[in-house]
Amino acid sequence: MLKKIFIIAALVITGAVVYFGQAAWVNSQKEVHRSEPAVVESTSNANSEDSNGSSESQTEEGTGDLEDLITSQPEDVQQFWLSSQESGETVDITFVATESAVTQEENWTTLAEEGFLSSYEEIDFTFSLITHENEGTSQDWLTSLQSEAVSFEGKDIVLYELPVINDNGMLSSDDQVYYTTRFIEEMQSDYPDTHLFTLPSQPLYNSTYYPGELETVREVVEEQNIPFLNHWEDWPSIDDEELENYLTEDNDPNELGSKTWGTYLVNYFSAN
Q: Name the H helices within 191-270.
A: 210-223, 255-269
pLDDT bracket for residue 87 (50, 70, 90): very high
Q: What is the per-residue DSSP string for 18-40?
A: HHHHHHHHHHHHHHHHHH-EEEE
Q: Beta strand pairing status for 37-46 and 124-132?
A: antiparallel
pLDDT tens per residue, range 182-231 = 999 999 999 999 999 999 999 999 999 999 999 999 999 999 999 999 99
Question: Residue 241, SS3?
Answer: helix
Half-sphere exposure of 240 (CA within 13 A, CB side): 11
Which range among 11-20, 137-146, 263-272 shows the weakest confidence by mean pLDDT?
Answer: 11-20
For residue 234, what are the contacts with CB-CB under 8 A and spacing of at least 6?
A: 260, 261, 263, 264
The mean of the pLDDT values for the chain is: 83
Q: Is the pLDDT of residue 19 over 80?
A: no
Looking at residues 244-248, what average pLDDT do you find?
Answer: 97
Q: In sequence order, what are the residues at sequence separation of 6 or more whose Cβ sits closer than 8 angstroms to the Cβ of residue 80?
A: 156, 195
1 confidence band (pLDDT: 50, 70, 90): low
Q: Which residue has the higher pLDDT, 59 or 262?
A: 262
- Reported pTM: 0.80
Q: What angle do CA 41, 160, 101 make, to 5 degrees?
A: 60
Closest CA to 98 of 197, 201, 168, 179: 201
Which strand ranges, in their side-by-side order, compose the sheet holding 91-97? 37-46, 124-132, 91-97, 157-161, 195-199
Domain residue extents for the chain:
1-35, 37-269
Four-CA torsion 46, 50, 54, 55, nearest 10 degrees: -130
132/25: higher pLDDT: 132
User: Does the domain formed by 37-269 have CATH 3.10.105.10?
Assistant: no
- Grouping H, G, I as helix, E, B as strand and the rest as coil, residue 201 is coil
